Structure formats: C-alpha cells, structure tokens
A and B are shown apart, each in its own frame.
Chain A
Amino acid sequence: MRVRRLAAWTALPLAVTLGLAACGSGGDGGSGSSDPNAAVSIQIGEPQHLVPTNTTETSGSQVLAGLFSPLVDYDAQNKPYEVAAESVTSSDNKVWTIKLKDGFTFHNGEKVTAEDYVNAWNYGAYAPNGQGGSYFFEKIAGYADLQGEKPKAQTMSGLKKVDDLTFTVTLSEPYIDFKTMLGYNAFYPLPDAAFSAPGVLKDSYEQAPIGQGPFKMKGTWQHDSKIDVERYDAYPGEKPKVKGVEFRVYQQLSAAYADVLGDNLDVLPTIPTESLSNAPTDLGDRYQVSPMSSFQFLAFPTFDKDFSNPDVRKAISMAIDRDEITKSVFKGSQEPARSFVSPVLPGYRENTAGSAAEFNPTEAKKLYQAAGGPSKIVISYNGDGGHKDWVDATANQLKANLGVEVVGSAEPKFADLLTKVEKKQPVGMFRLGWVMDYPSMEDYLGPLYSTNGSSNYYGYSNPEFDKLVKEGSAAKTQDEAIAKYQQAEDILAKDMPVIPLRFGENVYGHSSKVKNVEMDLFQRVNLVKIEAAS
C-alpha cells in the first residue's frame, strides 16, 4: 500500500556543505509569453511498472498521469469532479453507474468504451497477474473469487457493461467514497491493443503504454534513462501547453538538483534534504512549496506492555517539541502535525490530538512517572530513508524532558524494520509514514488503525473505532460520513496508538525555462498546467 519513503535517496552524506558558496543563479522564470512548441523535462526515479494497476509509486504514477486521463480528479477543496467520466452516480452507494464522456480515444485511435474499463479492472484484480494495486478493487463484489492460487473466476461479478459508454459497479458493501477512489491510477482503462488474449497483457505493452490522456508515448520506455511523451492532439479534455515532456530518470536527487541549478533540467519535484537549507537562496522564486498528503508518525507496539498504557503514550507525545524539530531539522519543509488525518482532506480539524500533542515537558514527566513508563526507550527507523537526524533530535528531547534513556536504532532497510515489527520482536517505538491514495478520511483511518487495517503494524484494536469507520463508509451523505470519521478520530486522540509528528509538503524547484509549475497532493507535477517560458 502506500507508505513510501519521503526522500527516495537521501543521497550519500556530503562531507562538504554546498552552502560554501551559496550563489543565487539569478535568472528567474516568471512573466513573459509561453512557447507551446517546447518540451519540458521532469525528474523521476526509474518507475517499477507502467501498467496502471501495477503502479503504486510516485515516479510511475507521474508518467501515467500524462498518458491517461482519470475518471475523476480533485478540485481545490479536494472533492472529486468528473474528467473522463460524464457522471458517477449511485442512489444507495452500493450500485454505482459510471457514464463515460463521448469523444475519448486511445492513442492508437481506438474509441474508449465501458469494456476497456471492465477489462482493465478485471485484469488488475485477478490475483495470478500479481498486480501491486489489486487491493483497490477489493470493495467490488466478486473480488474474492479472483483471489488465491487457482481463482474461481476471471472476472468480477460486480462489473457490468450497460452500453458502449456506461457500466455499473456493484460493491460488496456500500461505500460513500467510491467516487473519490476512482481518481487513483489503478482505475484507468486499457485498450484492446494492450491484451494478447482476453485477460492476458502483452509483455510489450509496458514498454510503450497506450492511454487516453493528454500525452502519448514518443518511442518506448528507455530504462534508467528517460521516458518521452508528446502532446496527443485528439485529446478532448484540457490541452497541455507544452509540446512534450521528457521524464528524465535520476538515480540521485543531488544530481538532479545540480541540473536544475544549471538550467539543465526543468522540474525537480523533491529538493534533496541536504540542499534544503540553501535551496531558497540558490533558486530564489523558483523554490516552491505546496501542500501534500504525507503524514509522518511514530508508532507504538501497543502489544508491548511497556507501551500498553495510553498515558505513557500521551506523555511521550507531550515531551516532543514538534515545532522545534520541523524548524531545525526540516527547515520548515514540513508542518508539525497535531491531528491524525492530513489538512488537505475535507473533514480535517486542527489539533484533534488535543493536549497530548501540546509540548509540555513538566506535565509530560509527571504523567510518565505516574503511568510507570519504561526507563529505556528505543526508537527504530530505517537507515536508508534519511530519518536519522530527526530521530536523534526526538530522542534527545525525550531524554531531556522525561529523564529516561532514549536511543535511536537504525535498521538497514524499511523491509527489515517491518519484518521485525510483524514478528513482534522488540523494536521499541518505530517510525512510519503514510501518503494517501485518494482524498478521503477513510484512507487514513481504515488502513492505519482499524483492527484488520492493512498497515496497522502496532496491534491497535478498538471495536468502537472500527464500528465508527465502518458506519462512516456506509453513510448516505458525505456530511454524515465525515461526522462519523471525526468521531473515530476522537477515539484515536484518547488512545494515542501513534504520535502524529509531521505533515509533508511538496518542496520543489524548477529551472528558469518553465513557469506555472504546480504539484498535486500526490507529489506529481500538473502536466496540463506547466508552460515553457519563451
């Protein structure tokens, strides 16, 4: 699912701060007309896959966002609106009718039909295809029959074609956010040309994916090097303002950063951590910050008796000065978190963790001692993700404010950390992060805290919480759902299974050759808005 590393390669530590000679590169983008015949370049990592249902990381999803057009996208309030869909409706939130807009064609000229969606989704859900995003279809009726080594069926009973441009989706249970979900890249359609036989994807498809979006492939995927796309003129939606995009693969963000400084690369969606402090001076107004959905937190193994008392967990949370760490370690590139869902969501409330997230060392110490907290705390993290600095800072704060021994312990890789946690080995507290798939409170609450949540690694279980999330999903209206979700969030504030620490932001930079560079909540550059300065 969606816990991703924030800085893919928090590059090798440079013994030399490049700040030695912080030179402003001068030229700033900005006004002037734009050149519709120019191509722009955007940094990505090497995508793992370019099949919509198998793409769950940012780089691949950035490329697919150019090649495909989603059924729905999100407006400024992060509510869904139709793009490739004409309408998405349901009277009971269980049977959904999706009508497609007429006029969409795949890049090979094929007309987009309801069948293309049904086929693509069935392919994605069918377990033997091993698609990373298959769990997105688990709410659709009949999903279970496609699981296991020898599935009972090849297609989900919940998907029905009505006519060329209409199909219905029956869910196994009512889910109010289903329309919101459809903005995720797993719900893109696949053309007939993608399949060699029904349900069998061509091997070559991934090397040059055919979509129905604003850009089409120019040549094939040049592994470890680049992916070139160009404007698809028959696209009926909002036309891009550039001729093409070169997604250039970088192995290290620091190399890409040097290229942006040298105007050799146009957009760097993530400024490398070690350059954060001098990036504002280096880039001037080409250094930008925008909201993003990531959420960083410290989790407690609630099954461990050291941390089973909520008061101990609250005391630890109170002893952490979030503002100080976001300022000193992250140079303001992240925001302190005091709630359990991201501020980008409809239904977000400030400070839901209440007093537990307020920095109060004296109260914290009192509460900690009264609750009998452990005399030694370990904070585990993965050493490959650039987490050492803030974990050490947190450990020092806890040491000073609680008067106990606190050490940070690095596991080589995130996988090693997860394996230990799953085996319930003593790792102490551990860091986790979360990036949403679609803007719904349920996408934070369900997977992270419900008893059977896919990413609930801390053994947290509260039947009341589970019930509220379920009721929220099944609600009739959005308002009703949000009310339920908020009640569930209030339970988290009481139980504190995790300590909210920070909300992420897109911290990005661009060259002087582009303007209108916008990033969405999923760390993707808006490819329709970007312009080349001329």
Chain B
Amino acid sequence: MFRYIVRRLLQMVLAFFGTTLIVYALMFAGQGDPIQALAGERPVTEAQRAYLTEKYHLDATGVGGFFYRYFDYVKSLLQGDLGQSLTGRQIGDILQAAWPVTLKLALIALAVAIIVGVTAGVVAGIRRASIFDNSTLVLTLLVLGIPTIVLAPLAQYFLGVKWQLFPPTAGSEPTFYALLLPGIVLGSLSLATALRLTRTSVAENLRADYVRTARSKGLVKRRIVTVHVLRNSLIPVITFLGVELGNLMSGAIITEGVFNIPGVGFNLFRGIRTEDGPLVVGIVSVLVVVYLVSNLVVDVLYAVLDPRIRYE
C-alpha cells in the first residue's frame, strides 16, 4: 500500500507538469491581444501598453518565447510563487480568497448528492419497479435534462426572490444557509447520477449469490443491505463521487455566477475571457492537484471497501 501511494505521488508530479505545460501552450496559442482584452472597449495608451508588455514578457512570442515564458513561470512556481495575474494581483491571493468558498460549495453539493442520492438510490434499488423507483427515474431524467444554466436562475427566482426561502445570492462570505441553495443546484446533477448508479448497483447485488446465502442463513434484511449489499454496491458510486468532487470545484462557473459567489469557477471564467494566461494556468494547476488527490483517495477507498482488490 505504501509503495503504491509513493508511486502514485510520483506520477502526480509528472501529470502536474504535463498538464500545466499543455494548458500554458493552449493559452499561449489562443492568446490574441491580452492587453486589449484587459482594457475591454477602451483603447490602450502607448505608455500602458509598453509597461504591460515589458512586465509580462508579452513581447516574447513564437516557440522560443513560449518556452521562455513557461520556464519563467515554472521557476517561480517551484519557489511557491504563482505569479501575478495580468490585472496585477497575486494569483496566490486570488486563489486564497476564492478557494475556501468554492470548496464549501462543492462539499455541500457532494453532501447533498451522497445523502439524498445514495439513500434514494438504495431505496429504489431494493424496491425495484415500485412507485418510488419509477418516480425517482422520472425525476432524475428531468434533472439530468435541465442544464444548470436554466436550473440555477429558476431556483434563484422562485426560491430566492419570489418565495424568499433562501437569500437570492450568497456573496463572498456566505453563511451555510446562503450556500445551501447554490449547493443543491450544483449538486443536483451529481445527485441524479449517483442515484441511478446506486440503484442499479444495489439491484444487481441483491440478486447475487452471497445475498441468497446470507438470506438463507437467516440474517435480518437490514443487516444484509447495510453490511453486505451496500459495501459492494458503493464501489462504482465512490469512483464517481471522487472524480465528481474535482468536477464540482471547477464546474461551478455557472452556479457561482448566478449566485454571485466569487470562487474558483468565476475566476477561471474571467481569466479565460480576459486572456489572462497566468491566472488560467494558476487555477488549472491547482485544479489538477485536486483531481489527482481525489483520484488517489478513490483508489485507496477501493481497498477499504473491497479487500479483494490488492495493490502491489
């Protein structure tokens, strides 16, 4: 196990530099005129252009320029310095402010997905073809069919503005309560998927030999479901949810915009819009780490759930 984790950690370093290189290259290739993009619809003065060009080495173009800027970036990265975004702010500071709120949001979304999704999935799996099973099927299809971009404003309008059950927006230092609605909206997609996954898996395992054995041994139904079926059924769900955490953190762009949460998703969006290469690469680097770590956690959890799975 230990050797496995070390090997995985080493792979992570490689993956990390590989992805940042690719993202940096993409950003570099797609870059039009970042100085103008920064200024919006204002023409930029000569003085300002000269100043920014020099400051961000924007005059270094072509292949040579790319490696010059990439290595410059990696050099400061290794010193723990994410550099400055084109707006002049430290990317470290931006992330420090954006990270906690996005993490909270993602965790709420994940919790909603686990609590509601897995529970409902188990129930639906046990009572196959019941009214509950059929109605959750319809509901999940509905949720999967409505994009967040529609769901989020609708939820905001009805639950936030019209019936005033939740605050319409969350802001930068939100309470748990204010984050609940965006969390549910964000988690609804993973909730639906988790529910379907759990349901299928539980339904399948209920027919497995070991369940029949357990039943013939005279074990109570609750014990069969919680200890035997659930444990085996959760493997695909854990895989999904582990990777989903990464998705939730980066995929909050729309939800964060609608509910005015200045998190990672928004900053990423802004970075792409203003062609702010350093900011985009900085955020993506951190997201890569999140993905890698959550994948590692998933793999380790496999072993916990199913001792048959051995890593060496």
Q: A residues engaging B (CB < 8 A)?
A: 1-5, 12, 14-16, 18, 21, 23, 48-49, 56-57, 127-132, 134-135, 147, 149, 222-226, 248-252, 254-256, 258-259, 261-262, 264, 382, 384-385, 413-416, 418-419, 433, 454-455
Give Cα distance in the complex from A256 to B257, angstroms.
10
Residues of A with C-beta under 8 A to B167:
262, 264
Give Cα distance in the complex from A506 to B38, angstroms.
24
Whether the pair A262, B168 counts as a contact (CB closer than 8 A) is: yes
Whether the pair B32, A255 counts as a contact (CB closer than 8 A) is: no
Please tell me if B12 contacts chain A, counting CB pairs below 8 Å.
no
Q: Which residue of A lies closest to B263 (CB)?
A: A224
Tally B residues with Cβ within 8 Å of A. Answer: 53
Question: How far does the Cβ of A294 sit from chain B's closest Cβ, in whole Å?
Answer: 11
Please tell me if B50 contacts chain A, counting CB pairs below 8 Å.
yes
Nearest 3 interchain pairs by C-beta: A130-B51, A225-B172, A415-B36
Interface string of B13-43 (1 = CB under 8 A from A): 0000000000000000000110011111111
Known interface pairs A4-B42, A416-B32; 5 further A-B residue pairs with C-beta atoms within 8 A, sorted by A's residue number: A14-B150, A49-B88, A147-B47, A225-B171, A254-B258
Give Cα distance in the complex from A259 to B156, angstroms.
10
Chain B, range 258-275, C-beta contacts under 8 Å to A = 258-260, 262, 266-267, 270, 273
Stretch in contact with the other chain, from B90-98, B199-207, B236-244, B280-288: B90-98
Q: Which residue of A lies closest to B89 (CB)?
A: A223
From B45, B87, B88, B162, name the one whose CB has the most chain A CB atoms within 10 angstroms: B45
Whether the pair B45, A132 counts as a contact (CB closer than 8 A) is: yes
Interchain residue pairs with CB less than 8 A apart (17): A4-B41, A5-B41, A12-B149, A12-B254, A15-B149, A56-B42, A57-B42, A127-B46, A127-B47, A127-B51, A252-B257, A254-B153, A255-B258, A255-B259, A264-B167, A414-B41, A416-B32
Question: How far does the Cβ of B158 sit from chain A's closest Cβ, in whole Å?
Answer: 8
Please tell me if B140 contacts chain A, counting CB pairs below 8 Å.
no
Residues of A with C-beta under 8 A to B254:
12
Whether the pair B42, A224 counts as a contact (CB closer than 8 A) is: no
Residues of A with C-beta under 8 A to B256:
251
Known A-B contacts A149-B50, A252-B257, A416-B32; the reply to A262 vs B160 at CB < 8 A is yes
Residues of B with C-beta under 8 A to A251:
256-257, 260, 262, 266, 270
Known A-B contacts A255-B259, A415-B36; the reply to A127 vs B50 at CB < 8 A is yes
Residues of B with C-beta under 8 A to A149:
50
From A49, A130, A134, name the one whose CB has the most chain B CB atoms within 10 angstroms: A130
Q: Which of the residues B39, B45, B87 comes within 8 Å of A134, measured between beta carbons? A: B45
Known A-B contacts A1-B42, A2-B42, A419-B36; the reply to A226 vs B168 at CB < 8 A is no
Give Cα distance in the complex from A3 to B55, angstroms.
25
Known A-B contacts A225-B173, A262-B164; the reply to A418 vs B43 at CB < 8 A is yes
Give Cα distance in the complex from A135 to B46, angstroms.
10
Question: How far does the Cβ of A110 sit from chain B's closest Cβ, in whole Å?
Answer: 26
Whether the pair A250, B260 counts as a contact (CB closer than 8 A) is: yes
Q: Which of the residues B33, B51, B259 comes within 8 Å of A128, measured between beta carbons? A: B51
Whether the pair A224, B36 counts as a contact (CB closer than 8 A) is: no
Give Cα distance in the complex from A175 to B153, angstroms.
51
Residues of B with C-beta under 8 A to A249:
172, 262
Question: How far does the Cβ of B79 sit from chain A's closest Cβ, in whole Å?
Answer: 19
